Amino acid sequence: MGGIFRIPVVRTLHERHLLLPAVVALIVSGVLTQGAWVRNQPVEALSQDARPVPVAPPVVRRPDLEKTPLTYFDDYWRQLRERVEGSVVLVGPDSVPAVVVVPGLAISSAEAGDAVLAEVERGRLLSTPQADSVVEESANQDPASPEPPAPRPYGLIAVDDDRGLSLFEVDAAASQPLLLVPPASVPSGSYVGAVTRDRSGRAAITPGHLVAARAESQPNGDPSLAVSMTLLGWGATAVVNLDGALVGVAIGGGDAALGTRLFSSSVVRQVVTELQRPVVCRPFAVTELDASVLELLGIDTGLLIERVRQDAFRPEPSLQAGDVLLEWGGEPVTTLEAFETRSDALGAGELTAYRILRGRRRLNGNTIMPARDCQPIAEPPVQLLRYGLALRWVGGPVEDKAGGWRVAATVDGGPAAIAGVQVDDLLLAVDGRPVAESDARARFKRLEQRGQSAIVTLQRVDHVRMFVLVPTDVPTN
């Protein structure tokens, strides 16, 4: 024992009364070191039949993602998606996502609205005529009663192709509108979630950060909303804060040139208000003339035609910009308000008489008023319902396409569709006889009444094809 105390370190610890604590610390360190070494080793079995119990390896966490709301609170993002997904509904014939922004109204992409308009146009082209029922209803209707509003297919209210948006009416009882928060109340860098639905209708959320939100549309075309994540969904995506309130809407679609458009909540509110206003397209832009001009022209009243929408008329209108309108509908033109009121009351396709001053010459004429959306009134398409298609006459080259009788629509599962006829095919001949003339309607009518198999020759782009169409019975409604 005395030999141990001769060791300098031991003797020093003994003299300072630290020998016992040092021995205890040494023993504890040895025990801890042994436990750390055998922690991941299998536990030996007490018998030969027992198997060793493996120890699970430690979980490796990415230090850059640990304890951040984007990854650590996965359950919270799931709850936020479940809270918001009831305000993201599907609209239109293609079931495109739309965001409910006010009670009963949802905003989506322009593609969703265009799909509705295309289906309505196709149904109109292929609808079975019901002239007798229309005449009977018109005879029994009170002339003084207001005309009932036209039905809104799929709830479509308006389409704004310039912004790439459409507005739909949805079931207010089955959908909950989101609370719109002003952009100024959401600071940059705040956490946001983008909620939408995929093509199967399943809701999904993408976490991210708010980069910027502006209350007004930007004049240079920049988006009024910017977020950190890339949004590649279709239709509308709701961008919400952590409370589930709407910060903005992202609109995606099939137009690659527009890409994904982002709108702040304030801009969304403005757009919804604008799209609800009834838009009346006026094919003529007129303005009042000064008294001195009227005196020099030798007239008492009149309005100057500033602009004429040439695309609203077919054929081109006889009125020109620069004409002075003297009479409209057989009555003198006095004030701008009176003319607009009288012009807005005219129906589409109505023949209207006018009197104008062109230079020093006074001219009389007539014009056919276009539709309320400034679409020209064209001849109705020819319906060959037995053959499952409709034809429209296109006069002259249009968008590098030759004029003639073109297929306007086909019936799904009808003879034309089964044979392979496609929309926009150019009809060259029927049973070997050319149909290039624009007055072939009587011939098509006889073909429909005869109801016999016909060989049609069609041109598709730069290829000519022949199809055999076997007629069927016209369905009755």
Q: What secondary structure, in 3-state letters, does 253-304 show?
A: CCCCCCCCEEEEHHHHHHHHHHHHCCCCCCCEEEEECCHHHHHHHCCCCCEE
Q: CA 414, CA 385: separation in Å to the nearest integer? A: 9
Model confidence at 223, in pLDDT bands (50, 70, 90)?
A: confident
The widest CA-to-CA distance across the chain, in whole angstroms, is 141
The answer, as to whether pTM is greater than 0.85, is: no
pLDDT value, residue 353: 83
- pLDDT above 50: residue 143: no
pLDDT at 59 over 70: no
Query: Which of the given ranges, 67-81, 147-161, 418-432, has the highest pLDDT on average?
Result: 418-432
Rounded to 10°, the helix 8-15/19-37 angle is 120
Mean pLDDT over 105-118 rounds to 92
- Provide the token pair at 89: 């509904």
What does the angle CA 113 – CA 115 – CA 120 come to, to the nearest 5 degrees?
95
pLDDT band at 203 (very low <50, low <70, confident <90, very high): very high
**Residues 284-337: tens digit of each pLDDT:** 889 999 999 999 999 999 999 998 887 777 666 778 899 999 999 889 998 988
Residue 284 CA, distance from chain mean position: 30
Q: What's the order of all strands across the beta sheet hosting 203-213? A: 225-227, 203-213, 191-197, 235-240, 246-252, 261-264
**Per-residue tokens: 124:** 């109109």
- Distance CA(108)–CA(16), nearest Å, equals 84
Whether 428 has a pLDDT exceeding 50, the answer reads yes
Q: For residues 253-282, give the mean pLDDT.
A: 78
- Predicted pLDDT of residue 385: 85
pLDDT of residue 338 exceeding 80 = yes
The pLDDT of residue 69: 52
Q: What is the DSSP letter of 396?
A: S
- Mean confidence (pLDDT) of the chain: 79
In the chain, the domains with their CATH numbers are 1-26 (no CATH), 77-127+152-276 (2.40.10.120), 284-368 (2.30.42.10), 382-469 (2.30.42.10)
Question: Residue 66: enclosing H or E segment and its boundaries?
Answer: none
Say what the pLDDT of residue 219 is.
Answer: 57
